[in-house]
Chains A and B, each alone.
Chain A
Amino acid sequence: MGLFSDIYNTVAKFFRPQEEQGDASKSVAASRLKLVLMQDRTNLTPKILEQMRGELIDLLSRYVELDKELLELDFQQEGEQVALMLSIPVIRAKDEEEIEATLAAEGINEEAEAEGTAEEACEADAEVQTVTTPEEMTASKKDDEIKEECQSEA
């Protein structure tokens, strides 16, 4: 049997289209290259990207329950324009009470927060120019802590 299946596989492999045979190393190359070029062009380091990703998760978690592992933050280029694309896998939307509770726990005024969200969304979509000051970093740390507290309470 082994001999026959070997022969079959060899013959089958010969007639298989080439695309299936090669590993898709070119798409790996293309995506790695796209990322590294965006970093080269914008001076955004992977560290800052990771931080941005974390802050966005914090922000969005106030309103929706999302799959943090699958959240994707990528650059995309359309012609001359570079855009930051955020793909957010939503598990479920939080209801108003939950959102209010989260915001209250974080000590955030609702209206001010709404403005902040709009602003940040604009920034993410437009030119990529993120300057992160040390103050902001500590702020994000605090957010983290607060959020963890919220979750443990829930």
Chain B
Amino acid sequence: MTGRVIVITSGKGGVGKTTTSANIGTALAKAGYKVVLIDTDLGLRNLDLLLGLENRIVYTIVDVIEERCKLKQALVKDKKNPNLSLLAAAQTRDKTAVNAEQLKSICDTLKEENDFVLVDCPAGIEQGFQNAVAGASEAIVVTTPEMSAIRDADRIIGLLEAKEEITSYKLLLNRVRPSLIKSNEMMSVDDVVEILSCPLVGIIPEDTGIITSTNKGEPIVNDEAALAGKAYRNVAQRILGEEVPFLDLDEPKGFMAKIKNAFAKLKAKV
């Protein structure tokens, strides 16, 4: 078996790389695929927290590289889904503890026995980024509809284009707020896609449920009712090659919004 190695990157910090990694990984595992998540953010690891696995980590990626354990020993199985496992970052070391070749060889080994290897990339465009990208052949660029995040995503796309090993990269637009887009205070999905001229793999609405799901250490894809969870499940399906329409986030919700909308339409006609 030769699995797909996908790096999840963004340039800017805080746009939701780790949340995206945890959710796509969980969704793919739920769909029956064998998935390994690699946290490459050495010194600032968080993927373990989002998956609720922080108490189970014995060995990290640095232990594997420095041969204190076997690769298999360092993989932590998810609590709920045996298809999903995590290779955690070392919290006490920095990015120089790992180099691109070492990461590539880990990815190459892991893809032999897994359908997907998802690499959670650190913020920035330095060594950490170069390491995370080294073993990947696909990339998901996470951004939000904010200027600084888009500018950084553009930079990352430029760097990915220059890499021969990366055969495809797609955009995931995170933390979209339909109400702000409606009032022309936030760039729309179309605006961002046009500016970056990069194909979309997902649109994730801003969802307060993300906060509570992080608190509990349980990815939001496990919450069937949450809109963001549904959006992430759709992303997983698109990665699997299915054509899933993007969620319509523009539906006005609530009674007052409907009345307001009706009057606005009426006024437009007059």
Residues on A facing B (Cβ under 8 Å): 14-19, 21-27, 29-30, 32-34, 36-37, 40-41, 77, 79-80
In the docked arrangement, what's the CA distance between A99 and B263, Å? 59
Q: Which B176-205 residues have C-beta < 8 A from chain A?
A: 181-188, 191, 195, 197
Residues of A within 8 A of B183 (CB): 18-19, 21-22
Q: Which residues of B contact A19 (CB under 8 A)?
A: 182-184
B53 to chain A, nearest CB (A): 38
A14 and B260 contacting across the interface, CB-CB below 8 Å: yes
| CB-CB under 8 A for A18 and B182, given A30-B195, A34-B195, A40-B154 | yes
Q: Say yes or no: B197 contacts A18, CB within 8 Å.
A: no
Given A15-B264, A37-B151, A79-B197: A30 and B158 within 8 A (CB)? no
Bound Cα distance from A16 to B183, whole angstroms: 11
Chain B interface residue count: which class?
20 to 34
Partner of A26, one of B150, B155, B184, B197: B184
Minimum Cβ distance to chain B for residue A14 (Å)? 7
Q: Which residues of B contact A (CB under 8 A)?
A: 147, 150-151, 154-155, 158, 181-188, 191, 195, 197, 260, 263-264, 267-268
**Cβ A15 vs Cβ B147 within 8 A:** no
For residue B12, give the distance in angstroms from its CB to the closest CB of chain A. 13
Q: Can you offer 19 A-B residue contacts whose CB atoms are under 8 A?
A: A15-B260, A15-B267, A18-B182, A18-B183, A18-B260, A18-B264, A19-B183, A23-B184, A25-B184, A26-B181, A26-B184, A26-B185, A26-B186, A29-B147, A33-B187, A41-B154, A41-B158, A77-B197, A79-B197
Closest A residue by C-beta to B256: A14
Q: How far is the CB of B249 from the nearest CB of chain A, in Å?
A: 15
- Cα–Cα, bound, A150→B192 (Å): 47
Shortest CB-to-CB span from A144 to chain B, Å, is 35
B73 → chain A, closest Cβ, in Å?
44
Closest CB in chain A relative to B173 CB, distance in Å: 14
* Nearest residue, chain A, Cβ from B263: A15
Q: Which 4 A-B pairs have the closest CB atoms?
A: A22-B183, A17-B264, A15-B263, A22-B184
* Complex contacts, B158 vs chain A, CB 8 Å: 41
Would A32 and B185 be within 8 Å (CB), given that A17-B264, A18-B264 are in contact? no
Set of chain B residues within 8 Å of A40, measured between Cβ atoms = 151, 154-155
Distance to closest chain B CB from A75 (angstroms): 12
Bound form: Cα–Cα A26–B176 in Å: 13
Return chain B residues, CB-CB under 8 Å to A22: 182-185
Q: Which chain A residues border B188 with CB–CB below 8 Å?
A: 26
The docked-state distance in angstroms from the alpha carbon of A26 to that of B185 is 5
Q: How far is the CA of A29 from the CA of B150 in the complex (A)?
A: 11
Q: Which of A16, A25, A30, A37 lies in contact with B264, CB distance below 8 A?
A: A16
A135 CA / B11 CA spacing, docked (Å) = 39
B151 touching A25, Cβ below 8 Å? no
> How far is the CB of A34 from the nearest CB of chain B, in Å?
6
Contacts of A17 in B (CB 8 A): 264, 267-268
Knowing A19-B182, A41-B158, A79-B197, the reply to whether A26 touches B187 (Cβ < 8 A) is yes
Q: Which residue of B lies closest to A22 (CB)?
A: B183
A33 pairs with B182, CB closer than 8 A: no
Which residue of the partner chain, among A15, A16, A37, contacts B195 with CB atoms under 8 Å? A37
| Interface residue from B147, B150, B181, B197 paired with A80 (Cβ < 8 Å) | B197
Q: Are A24 and B151 in contact (CB-based, < 8 A)? A: no
